[in-house]
Structure 1
Amino acid sequence: MNTTTPLSFLQSLASRLQPPAWVVDEAQQRLVLFLNHVLMQEKQAQERLARKKGSVIKLSWGMFDASLLITPAGLLDRAAAGAKPDLSVAISVDSPATLLQSVLAGKAPPVKIDGDVQLAAELGWLAENLRWDAEEDLSRLLGDVPAHALADAGRRLAAGLKQFLASGPLSASGGRGMEKASQ
């Protein structure tokens, strides 16, 4: 019985290829800009983070990682290279498909957390209470009606993807009928 998934090839390829340093640098900078954009939409989030100013958070998933510094304004900046993290948060799932599946199901992915307990509690609050309003951002660019239509299409696409992943080969019940048919 073949237990590989269609994404297995891509996962093995990704584990062998390292992106150029400039790509990693640019991706980390874009991550910081996006996170700050979301934080600036919620004053309470900024206030909570400002209490932990100067703290360094190391986020990691597989071979990707980023170290972020909390600024006095309650926003984030990239930490200096080699900065000692006060909190390390590592996503424990290696498979991008499994990670996507848990996120679409509305569940937090399994993580390993080491370090400052108070800072971890603040990040937990942010994860539960802070949301990006993509439709609002789109409406500033395109207007209300096109933004609503695009957001609605995105929600339907996400629901379809969620349903596909729930019944696909990566789910707990998915693919069983296929196994019996192929035996």
Structure 2
Amino acid sequence: MAQATPFSLIDQLFDRVTSTFQPPAWLVSELQHRGVLLINHVLMQEPEAMARLARQKGRVASVQWRLFDIKLIITPAGLIDLAEPGANSDLHLSVTESSPTSLVQAVVAGEKPPVRIEGDVQFAAEINWIVDHVRWDLEEDLARVVGDGPAHTVVQAVKNLARGLKDFVTRFPATSIVRDKDGL
């Protein structure tokens, strides 16, 4: 008899929660606004990324994964903002991996998740460049608040934790099934 892995159990729990619990619109809006603020903070640390996005001003990209979706518009400053609800997308990015654990495994392993891309090729190329080249310097931001020494210690601890998580996650494929002694 085939048994589910811990990862498949997490996927099943996620499916149940998302099918029965729909977050209120105000919560979705707040989370989207906070995400935009974080992305803009990271973009502002990389002038080349802002310059590339400024060339795409006014363009709208929609990003979708399962039931979650967001439409973002590029501002003249080379940052992003939430697009109007009825805005037409110039680029549609749809994450095709439906399993949250497989998605996390891919990201933790340093891989890009599988994405279906529809729309403006040049706009997609600029987004791809940003994904490949822009990184959040968490240690620098944390050092502004707590100082260099504690920030370095915290970031090293998080890196060690992430390494351990990566080792654990990469040992168990999300789609693996434990079989009994008869191979069933």
Q: TM-score, normalization: structure 2?
A: 0.91
Higher relative contact order (CA 8 A, sep 6+): 2
Partners of 2:123 and 2:130 in 1: CA distance? 11
Flag structure 1 segments of 5+ consecutive residues without an equivalent. none
1:2 offset after TM fit, Å?
2.4
**Deviations 1:132-173 (Å, cap 9, x if unpaired)?**
11111111111111111110111111111111111125266x
Partners of 2:149 and 2:172 in 1: CA distance? 34
What is aligned with 1:106? 110
Partners of 2:118 and 2:59 in 1: CA distance? 14
1:3 offset after TM fit, Å?
3.2
1:94 offset after TM fit, Å?
1.2
One-letter amino acid of the counterpart of residue 140, structure 2: E
Deviates more, 1:3-12 or 1:135-144: 3-12
Partners of 1:169 and 1:143 in 2: CA distance? 39
Partners of 2:76 and 2:58 in 1: CA distance? 7
Task: Give the percent of matched residue pairs that are identical in Structure 1 and Structure 2.
Answer: 47
1:155 to 134, 137, 159: 159
Flag structure 2 segments of 5+ consecutive residues without an equivalent. none
Whether the 8 Å contact between 1:11 and 1:95 is mirrored in structure 2 is no
Deviates more, 1:11-20 or 1:98-107: 11-20
How many residues matched? 179
Confirm or deny that 1:67 pairs with 2:71: yes
Whether the 8 Å contact between 1:68 and 1:76 is mirrored in structure 2 is yes
One-letter amino acid of the counterpart of residue 59, structure 2: S
Partners of 2:65 and 2:132 in 1: CA distance? 20
Confirm or deny that 1:89 pairs with 2:90: no
Q: TM-score, normalization: structure 1?
A: 0.92
Partners of 1:171 and 1:95 in 2: CA distance? 9
One-letter amino acid of the counterpart of residue 140, structure 1: R
What is aligned with 1:2? 3
What is aligned with 1:164? 168
Partners of 2:18 and 2:140 in 1: CA distance? 34
1:34 to 30, 38, 46: 38
Confirm or deny that 1:76 pairs with 2:80: yes
1:26 offset after TM fit, Å?
0.3
Whether the 8 Å contact between 1:165 and 1:171 is mirrored in structure 2 is no
What is aligned with 1:16? 20
**Deviations 1:68-111 (Å, cap 9, x if unpaired)?**
11000000111011100000111111111111100011100000
Q: Secondary structure at the match of 2:9?
A: coil
